[in-house]
Amino acid sequence: MDFGNPGTIFVSSFIIALSGALMPGPLLAVTIRHSTRRGFAAAPLLVLGHAVLEAGLLSLLLFGMVEWIRGDAAVALIALVGGVMLLWMAAGMAREVRTLRFEPRASLAVPGGKGEDPGAGGWMRPVIDGIVTSASNPYWSLWWATIGLGYLLVARGQGAAGVLAFFAGHILADAAWYLFVGSAVSAGRGWFTDRAYRVVVGACAVFLAFFAVSFGYFGVTRLFRIL
């Protein structure tokens, strides 16, 4: 894949982020819990908290860590590790796709989900929960340390436009999925079946495998510059 323009970076960033967001995790459970108690309005607030955390992390990477890892060797290593992580994620999604269920009742298993006052904490409660839930997820940290950092280095090669395209695609993917979840939970899940959920996740697994190969190719070409 040619990462030489912001449009390509935006589209691929959107698909990669959507693939990660689709898999069940703490933020999905919290989104379902808040949506069942507060309605659809809770979903964008949770996404806002998630976005604030990721914007802060992106700033740290841009103005701190990225300056420490300039050079073809570091970029190649990160791209290759990111490719391996993408392939691992794709394989995991492919293995689980047959048994995945889009199950709002899972929200009852979230600590604190029972007997909560829907108005407790006001509008800031979902925002804070979006930040805390994301930060406490070890897979979120692992993703940014490998795939996210690798993609950021690629996007940074296109300057500010590339970085903005990467972040916009990433955040819009999170927003698209979690706003959909909030809407589905609020309106009723009958029109989004388990079968449809599995088809979407399966398609994302294929996309992830493709991007893994693209990252691997990018990393290998950088290695050849060194040798």
Residue with tokens 């495998």: 209
Domain ranges of the chain: 6-226
Question: 152, 167, 134: which is closest to 53 by C-alpha?
Answer: 134
CA distance 5 to 11: 11
**Residue whose C-alpha is closest to residue 181's, from 24, 15, 54, 13:** 24
Residue 47: is its pLDDT beyond 90?
Answer: yes
Question: Helix, strand or coil for residue 227?
Answer: coil
> What value does the mean pLDDT of the chain take?
79
CB contact at 8 A, 82 and 216: no
Q: How far apart are CA 21 and CA 176, in angstroms?
A: 10
10 Å Cβ neighbour count for 138?
7
Closest CA to 173 of 17, 27, 6, 9: 17
Contact 50, 144 (CB under 8 A): no
pLDDT score recorded for residue 112: 41
pLDDT tens by residue, 48-82: 999 999 998 888 887 776 555 556 777 788 778 87
What 3-state class would DSSP assign to 188?
coil
| Mean pLDDT, rounded, for 205-219 | 82
pLDDT score at 2:
58
Confirm whether pTM is higher than 0.95. Answer: no
Residue 176 or residue 135, greater confidence: 176
Tell me the torsion sign for CA atoms 182, 177, 172, 57.
positive
